[in-house]
Every structure is written in C-alpha cells, then in structure tokens.
C-alpha cells in the first residue's frame, strides 16, 4: 500500500543535511509551510541554498534560519521585508557580505521551477532582456524580440503547504496558497507537504487534484487540521 | 513661475484619471503603492478583471475589518476579496498570463520613463542596497499596455520623463502611456505625445518639467 | 457587463476565413468540439492550417474538412486512423501530395502550444534529439543531454470543448476532456469554446476553474446541455 | 536446431514476466498494443499508478460492458476506469510528467533496440507511408526506465536486438531493459546483459538470435 503520510514533522524533514538546496513555497506568508520551516531552523544546519520568493521577509521561520547562520545562498525575487517592518535579517547579512543572493524576476523564477519539473532544461524569455539581471546571460532575438536564455531550477527538497492530501500524495491548495507550491512540488527530488486536511483515497475528485501524488514524497498533517 | 503654482492632479486624482481610461472587460494588473488606488475609481458595475501576480483573477475590494480570509492576499500582501467570476491559478500560470500578453493593461509606478518607452522602476542602483525586483520585469515585458503612474518630477524637481533612463532598466520599450500629476502622455514612435493636461497647467510649464520633447495630439 | 456567450454556432465561428490557422482540441474523439468542426466544414473554406493531435483520424468533422479540400496543412503527432477503421481521408490526401504535414512529437506539440500561451518563444527539449523529426533544427547539449530548440506554436483561432462555462468565459473540463483544450485555450488570438453546462457567474468555485475566462473569447452551449 | 524448437514465453507470458518486475508505488506508462497487457498481470493489491499520456494518473481496469464513461479513454482510445486516488491533468502537464522524469517506468513496443539503448519503434521508414509518432519520442526520452517489450526476432527471423538500429530512431540511449519471448536482457554500459532466459531456451540459442554480443549476469 502506498502511504506517503509521515507521523510528524521530524519524520517529514528526515535526510535534510548541510549544504542542501531547498525550495520553500508561499508568496508572502500565504502558502508557506511555517511549521516545516520553524522545525528546520532547529536542526543546526549549515550551507543551505534556499529558493523562496520572499526569502528576505521578516515573517515565518526564514529569518531564524538566517540568524543562525544556516543559509549560504538565497534565490528569490523579493528579498525585502514588508513595508513598516523592522530591517530584516536578510538585509543585515547581505550588507555584511555574509549571504549570497541570486535575484530572479518572479515570473522567471516560477518558470525556471516549472521547467525543472517539466523536463525543459532551458528556455528563452523576454523578461529581463536588456537589464542588469540579464548581464552575462546568453541572449538572442526570437520572433523579433530580444530574449534571455534561462535554465531550469532544481532542488533536492521542496517544503510546501497544501490544503487537502491523501495517502498517494494527491494535493489540493486553498485560494492563493497555490502560488509557488504547485511548481515547486514538481521540481524537487524530495517533496514534503504540510497539509491541513487529511482525505481518504478517492475522496478528492480526480478533476480537483492540483498536484498529482507522483510529485509528492511525504505528507505531514498540520496540527490545526480538522 | 514657481513650482508651487503648478499643482495639477492630487495622488487620488491621478488614480481617478487613469481609472477613467480603463474600459469594461479589460484584464488589469495594478502595481504596489499608488497604482493600487486605481481600483477604487473603477465602479463595480464596470466589469474590469483585476489580476494579482500571486495567482488571482477577479480581485474585489478590501474585506471589511475582521472579515479577511487568511488565504486571500494580493501581491502587496494585503487582504483581498474575490468577485463572482474570480479564479485562482498557480505561480507559473499566473506569470504565463503576464508574459504571454494576456493582460490588457498593467499600471506600474516608475522612477523614470524614457521617450522610447524604456522603464526604470525596480532599483535606484545605489551601491549596498538590497536589490528586489518581484514581478516588475515580467509585467513590464509582458502586458499588452504598460501605464506608468507617477509624479511628473522627483522631490527635488528633476524630470522623470527623460530621453534615456539613468536608473537600471526594468524593461525595454515597455511603457505605452504615462499618467502624472501634471498630464497624460502617450509614448509613441516619435516620442512623448501629450494626451491631456491637468487643469491649470500650461503646455510650457509641462515641457519645462519634462526631460524630452513633448508632441501635441494634433 | 462582460458576456462571452454567443447565441449559436454560426456566431461562434464568425470571422474564420480562408487561410486561417486553427487549433482543434481533443485527444481521440474525447474533448473534440465536434459541433464546431462539423459546422466549420460547411463553410466552404480554403487553405486552412489545422493544429490538432489526431488530425488524420477517421472520426469527427476533420475528415469532412479534408475531403472538401479546406485544409492546406496539418500540424499533429498522430495522423492515423484508429486500428480497424477504413483508410483515413488524410492518408489518401497525403499520399497524393495534396496536403502538407508537420509531424511533431505529442509532448513537444503540447509544450509548443503551452509556450505560445505563456510567452515563452522557444525552449530546449530532449524529446526528438537525434531523430528524423529534429533534422534541420538547432541542437545543443544542455545539462549533458542533447536537446532540440523548439518554438512556440500560435493560432488565430482555437476551437475547444469544455464542460462548464460562465459569462466571463471561465471553463472547467470533464475528465480526459481537458487534454489539448487547456493549453490551446491560451495560445490562440480567438478562443471559441463549446461547453456542456452553462453556469451563473460565481457558481464555479474559483479553485476549480481550469481555464480562466481571460483566455476565452466566445462560448456556445452545446445542444445536449442540461 | 530449427526455430520451431525455440518457443520461449507466449505474448501473455511476456507481459506477465514484465509485470512481475514492477514494484508497488511505481508510476508506469504502458504503450499501445502488447505493453497494455502488462496491467492485467499486476494484482490490484499491488498499488501501481498507471499513467496515460492523454492526462490520466491512476487508471483502473477496462469498464464492464455498457458502463463506459464517454469522458474516460486511454492513449489507445479504449474506454478505461479510474482507481480511487486517480487524478486528471491537461496535455502539457501530462507530458511534463513524462519529459520531467517523473515516470518510474515506460513499457514500449519496439522494432529494434541497440546495444547502446537506442530505440526504434515509431517508423519503418518506408517511403510513402504516413508517419505518425504520438508520444513515443517523449516517452523514450523522458521516463526514468524504458523497457522494450517485443518479440526477440522479426517474423522472418532477423534479430531485433542489434548493434545499431537500422530503422529511424525514436530516442537515443533510451532503453534500459528488453523483455522478449526468449529472455529478459538489460542494456548496460558494456552492452546487452542477460537477466533471465525463458524455460527451455539455451544461451547459445539466444545469442544466435541476437544481433550483438550478450553478456551473462556474472
């Protein structure tokens, strides 16, 4: 019997070691698997590469991971705190030269992650052409427009948040919680989902599944689950 | 003539002026900050489909206090509501909509707009500052129309409509129209062309505050 | 008020002229908007380019379009009749040199259509590398694998079949009826959907919409509709 | 020794032999024709997730007569059922699953398999014939493992396991294992290696019918 449910968050995070490349879902605080990230911060890891849209934000477990020196490099589009928040941890580390940043336009980030999942090793996009973020990248005119060659972005682990899950790992998302969780689920060697509702196999309508279970390796049910 | 005499539209007046030009049926993305205000001036009976890059089509107004759905925010991380007819997409599909030219319009803030449509709105290029781009480059490159909604000059009086951008570029040849406190200006193959001037502002005053030649509608 | 419903199939097909490039959804007979294709065959058109996975099949309205000489070129992956059927019209025309064929691997076809909708003008794929179907195409090693450069595939019109539709053009599909209809909806200038259920605006859950209305220009409700 | 003496496995025996090697939990695509039979020999209690390239994950057995759902067919256009846990995806996502290496296994028919894993199974290259490829090239290039399920020799006795394919290629270095009526053979960096021989077939008989050297498991 296929059963991707794991009993707790420790089991969900099993095998994540120093130097790992980890995708973390969410946009802003919505769809970020906070319980997984918080627990990750307790593991005393070093040298992580984190791929997460809002990696510089002041909310969730990422600032804690950064403060503790777990993160070597961040790949993201918006490494900045929400307006009005205190100066974010990321900014301090970045200014001090203690963390590396690969800044990627948000849509290119999403598409590079999708490409990794879909077996497209590289693609041309008009986004960023002629800007500082395309410096050093291959460009060419395609259909009369200047385009940049971008490459698929893979990870060893993806930590994502879902709404429903069954034992095959089929997932649904709730409202904008879908965001980066959907493409990231397909782009990692080991995809770990924090889900809010446990469903029996067959309970989720086949047309309603957003992430088929084959993309998912482990599911842990959130403590708030009904 | 002192700057104090040239007032033009207020910030809400600018948003209202831009909103007046958005017809029913358009799919529209509004950038963070001033552009977000534009939605307030599109009456509910004029059906405009507001897109948010985190995966929403059909955003409605902000929720009443205490009624926010924790699973519904916009790209500015503010709570939102959904209109009947709304739909949700994932992040790669949301930017497929943007990059694929399916937005009729994107309204963005701007540091500078050049006469060839080049847009600079993501970085001041200050050394040491943390760079952050979000979806600005995708929106600038992808939407069918890009309107810049911004003050006509900087705080210290320098033109923001220029011949060539000095700030780092967001997108090449992107902006199709500029709404400022002083005027509405199209970006054409021939350069900036004035569409509308705020009440009480003269063409000469406008040209004096613009870093590139202005054509008139005729 | 946005209202993409049109009263009948004639109104749905309005503006399709000689020489048009038309995508037609479906895989096998499922998800093919038969009523639209049948009506298209009555229009006496010439010089059409048809993009459809099973363009050579013996079912649906496509053979009729071919018999009447409406089609100049077909872009597809499997121009062959179902086993046991009579020799298909396509085969006769092709053997006689009366119709042009661009044969594309099925996944590359789907991805080229998706790329057109998603603003990706070109991409590298390992599919087809080193085969006859990659002859004349640019290739390169990406991540240690030989890849082929493929380009986005656009159309002026897409004729698709949906399950539910509302007046904004939001669509759902039923089971495998989703197939090519989903990517094709995004890749055409004018997307025309034949839907089986008419829904009030707001009746389809926002999480359940598969094709957001912005991709759809016209919706006609099938005569079998409940 | 005449060919008539070398019988090996029947067609259903070949399918059964391949099915025995598919463990629980794999996501598997079965090609049209003989490979489709493999599903019949995977017991329902061994959970294998069958994928069909038209967008199904979790295919079940064929429906009872008169109970076919018109919206459910497989890639061979036959009516199917869904198992509990099934899901539906669109065409670009379905081939993203294939090309992205998410299938544990694809079982395909073959005209020829070369000792370097090259696969030829889509075209005989006959001039004038209508070429048709379907998803064969995507499956050949994308799945983690590609098993060719085919007769060991052609009807007129020519080997189908060869040094280099003569037919047009489907995918380069694709096949990882071959199941024939005579043997199970791995494709390794050193070439073909025999894993299992059908009852009553000798190694010498097998080698005589194979167009490239066979290594033994040891």
Round the average pLDDT of chain A to a whole number and report it.
Answer: 94
Residues A50, A35: contact at Cβ < 8 Å?
no
pLDDT (tens digit, 9 = 90+) per residue, B94-134?
999 999 999 999 999 999 999 999 999 999 888 878 899 99
Report pLDDT for B1. Answer: 41
pLDDT (tens digit, 9 = 90+) per residue, C100-159?
999 999 999 999 999 999 999 999 999 999 999 999 999 999 999 999 999 999 999 999
Task: Band the pLDDT of B2: cuts 50, 70, 90.
Answer: very low
Instruction: Give the mean model confidence (pLDDT) for residues B140-155.
Output: 97
In this prediction, does ipTM exceed 0.90? yes
Instruction: Give the mean model confidence (pLDDT) for residues D2-6.
Output: 56
Q: What is the C-alpha to C-alpha distance for residues D35 and D107, in angstroms, rounded to an integer? A: 6
The string of DSSP codes covering chain C is ----B-SSHHHHTTT--TT-EEEE--BTTBT--HHHHHHHHTT---SEEEE-TTTT-SSSSHHHHHHTT-EEEEEES---PPTTSPPPHHHHHHHTT-SEEEE--HHHHHHHHHHHHHT--EEEESTTTTSGGGTTS-EEEETTEEEEEEE---EEEEEEEEEEE-TT--EE--GGGGTTHHHHHHHEEEEEEEEEEE--TT-S-TTT-SB-GGG-SEEEE-TT--
Residue D116 is given by DSSP the state: T
Please, which residues bridge with residue B136 across strands?
A: none
Please, which residues bridge with residue C150 across strands?
A: C123
Q: What is the C-alpha to C-alpha distance for residues B108 and B136, in angstroms, rounded to an integer? A: 8
Q: D171 to chain C nearest CA, in Å?
A: 6
With CB atoms and an 8 Å threshold, state whether A142 touches C122.
yes
pLDDT (tens digit, 9 = 90+) per residue, D145-156?
999 999 999 999
State whether residue B91 is helix, strand or coil: helix
Write out chain D residues lying below 8 Å of A207, CB-based. Answer: 88
Burial class (CB in 10 A: 0-12, 13-18, 19+), A7: exposed
Report pLDDT for D5. Answer: 59
pLDDT (tens digit, 9 = 90+) per residue, A71-93?
999 999 998 876 655 567 888 89
Report pLDDT for B7. Answer: 85
Q: A117 to chain D nearest CA, in Å?
A: 5
Physical contact, B and D (3 or more Cβ pairs within 8 A) = no
Please, which residues 139-168 of chain B have a Cβ atom closer than 8 Å to chain C? Answer: 142
The string of DSSP codes covering A130-141 is TSGGGTTS-EEE
Task: Band the pLDDT of D94: cuts 50, 70, 90.
Answer: very high
The strands making up A145-151's β-sheet, listed across from edge to edge, are: A139-142, A145-151, A122-125, C122-125, C145-151, C139-142
Write out chain A residues lying below 8 Å of C147, CB-based. Answer: 121-122
Count of beta carbons in the 10 Å neighbourhood of residue C117: 28
- On the question of pLDDT at C167 being above 90, the answer is yes
Round the average pLDDT of chain B to a whole number and report it.
Answer: 95
With CB atoms and an 8 Å threshold, state whether A213 touches D57.
yes
Residues B108, B68: contact at Cβ < 8 Å?
no
With CB atoms and an 8 Å threshold, state whether A206 touches D49.
no
Answer whether B59 touches A (CB < 8 Å).
no
Residues B104, B142: contact at Cβ < 8 Å?
no
Write out chain A residues lying below 8 Å of D47, CB-based. Answer: 1-2, 168
pLDDT (tens digit, 9 = 90+) per residue, A25-53?
999 889 999 999 999 999 999 999 999 99
Report pLDDT for D165. Answer: 97
Write out chain A residues lying below 8 Å of B71, CB-based. Answer: 30, 174-177
Report pLDDT for A86. Answer: 57
Task: Band the pLDDT of D2: cuts 50, 70, 90.
Answer: very low
Burial class (CB in 10 A: 0-12, 13-18, 19+), D195: middle
Report pLDDT for A11. Answer: 98
Write out chain D residues lying below 8 Å of A166, CB-based. Answer: 85
Report pLDDT for A58. Answer: 72
Reported pTM: 0.97
Q: C120 to chain A nearest CA, in Å?
A: 5
Residue D37 is given by DSSP the state: G
Answer whether B126 touches A (CB < 8 Å).
no
Q: What is the C-alpha to C-alpha distance for residues C119 and B144, in angstroms, rounded to an integer? A: 12
A-to-D residue pairs, Cβ atoms closer than 8 angstroms: 64
Minimal-distance CA residue of chain B relative to C209: B87
Instruction: Give the mean model confidence (pLDDT) for residues B7-32.
Output: 96
Q: What is the C-alpha to C-alpha distance for residues A150 and A138, in angstroms, rounded to an integer? A: 8
Which one is predicted more confidently, C226 or C2?
Answer: C2
Distance of CA C121 to the CA centre of its chain: 19
Q: What is the C-alpha to C-alpha distance for residues A142 and D216, in angstroms, rounded to an integer? A: 52
Residues C2, B47: contact at Cβ < 8 Å?
yes
Is the dihedral angle over the CA atoms D194, D199, D204, D206 positive or is it negative? negative
Residues C186, B100: contact at Cβ < 8 Å?
yes
If we measure between CA atoms, which residue out of D113, D114, D106, D134 comes closest to residue D122?
A: D134
With CB atoms and an 8 Å threshold, state whether A202 touches D57.
no
Report pLDDT for B5. Answer: 59
Write out chain A residues lying below 8 Å of B92, CB-based. Answer: 110-111, 113-114, 182-183
Distance of CA C86 to the CA centre of its chain: 24
Q: What is the C-alpha to C-alpha distance for residues B177 and B173, in angstroms, rounded to an integer? A: 11
A-to-B residue pairs, Cβ atoms closer than 8 angstroms: 143
State whether residue A147 is helix, strand or coil: strand
If we measure between CA atoms, which residue out of B96, B90, D98 comes closest to residue A183?
A: B90
Residues D110, A223: contact at Cβ < 8 Å?
no
- On the question of pLDDT at A197 being above 50, the answer is yes
Minimal-distance CA residue of chain C relative to A177: C207
Residues C219, C193: contact at Cβ < 8 Å?
yes
Report pLDDT for C89. Answer: 83
Determine if residue B21 is left, alpha or beta; phi over 0 gives left, psi from -120 to 50 gives alpha, anything else beta: alpha
With CB atoms and an 8 Å threshold, state whether C111 touches A120.
yes
Q: What is the C-alpha to C-alpha distance for residues D99 and B215, in angstroms, rounded to an integer? A: 53
Q: What is the C-alpha to C-alpha distance for residues C109 and B212, in angstroms, rounded to an integer? A: 47
Query: How many CA within 13 A on the CB side of residue C92?
Result: 11
Q: What is the C-alpha to C-alpha distance for residues D64 and D76, in angstroms, rounded to an integer? A: 18
Q: Considering CB atoms only, which of C119, C202, C206 is closest to B100?
A: C119
Residues C194, C12: contact at Cβ < 8 Å?
yes
- On the question of pLDDT at C86 being above 60, the answer is no
Percent of chain D with pLDDT over 70: 97
Q: Which of A62-71, A167-176, A200-209 has the lowest mean pLDDT?
A: A62-71
Report pLDDT for A198. Answer: 98
Residue A177 is given by DSSP the state: G
Q: What is the C-alpha to C-alpha distance for residues B118 and B191, in angstroms, rounded to an integer? A: 11
If we measure between CA atoms, which residue out of C212, A171, A148 comes closest to residue B52?
A: C212
Alpha helices in chain B (DSSP H): 11-20, 91-99, 136-142, 203-208
Active site residue D53: yes
What's the Cα-to-Cα distance from B204 to each of A164, B157, B207, rounded to whole Å? 62, 16, 5
Q: C1 to chain D nearest CA, in Å?
A: 30
State whether residue A65 is helix, strand or coil: helix
End-to-end Cα distance, chain A:
24
């Amino acid at each position: 019997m296929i059963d991707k449910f794991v009993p707790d968050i420790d089991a969900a995070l099993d095998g994540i070691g120093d130097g790992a490349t980890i995708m973390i879902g969410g946009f802003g605080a919505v769809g970020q698997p906070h319980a997984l990230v918080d627990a990750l911060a307790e593991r005393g890891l070093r040298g992580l590469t984190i791929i997460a849209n809002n990696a510089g934000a002041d909310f969730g477990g990422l600032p804690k991971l950064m403060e503790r020196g777990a993160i070597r490099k961040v790949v993201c589009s918006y490494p900045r705190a929400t307006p009005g928040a205190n100066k974010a941890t990321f900014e301090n580390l970045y200014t001090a030269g203690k963390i590396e940043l690969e800044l990627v336009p948000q849509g290119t980030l999403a598409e590079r992650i999708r490409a990794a999942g879909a077996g497209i090793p590289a693609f041309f996009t008009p986004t960023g052409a002629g800007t500082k973020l395309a410096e050093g990248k291959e460009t060419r005119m395609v259909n009369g427009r200047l385009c940049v060659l971008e490459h698929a972005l893979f990870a060893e682990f993806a930590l994502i948040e879902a709404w429903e899950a069954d034992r095959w790992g089929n997932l649904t998302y709730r409202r904008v919680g879908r965001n980066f969780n959907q493409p990231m689920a397909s782009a990692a060697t080991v995809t770990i989902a924090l889900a809010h509702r446990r469903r029996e196999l067959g309970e989720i309508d086949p047309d309603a599944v957003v992430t088929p279970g084959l993309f998912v390796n482990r599911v842990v049910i959130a403590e708030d689950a009904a | 003539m002192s700057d104090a005499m040239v007032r033009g539209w207020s910030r809400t007046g600018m948003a209202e002026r831009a909103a007046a030009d958005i017809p029913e049926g358009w799919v529209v993305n509004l950038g963070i900050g001033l552009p977000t205000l534009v939605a307030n001036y599109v009456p509910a009976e004029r059906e405009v489909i507001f897109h948010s890059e985190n995966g929403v089509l059909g955003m409605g107004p902000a929720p009443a206090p205490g009624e926010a759905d924790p699973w519904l925010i916009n790209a500015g991380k503010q709570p939102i509501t959904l209109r009947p007819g709304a739909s949700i997409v994932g992040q790669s599909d949301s930017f497929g909509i943007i990059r694929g030219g399916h937005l009729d319009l994107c309204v963005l803030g701007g540091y500078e707009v050049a006469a060839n449509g080049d847009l600079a709105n993501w970085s001041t290029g200050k050394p040491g500052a943390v760079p952050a781009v979000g979806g600005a480059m995708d929106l600038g490159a992808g939407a069918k129309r890009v309107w810049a909604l911004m003050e006509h000059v900087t705080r210290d009086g320098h033109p923001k409509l220029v011949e060539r951008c000095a700030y780092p570029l967001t997108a090449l040849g992107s902006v199709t129209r500029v709404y400022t406190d002083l005027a509405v200006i199209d970006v054409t193959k021939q350069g900036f062309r004035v569409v509308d001037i705020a009440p009480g502002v003269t063409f000469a005053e406008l040209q004096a505050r613009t870093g590139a030649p202005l054509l008139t509608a005729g």
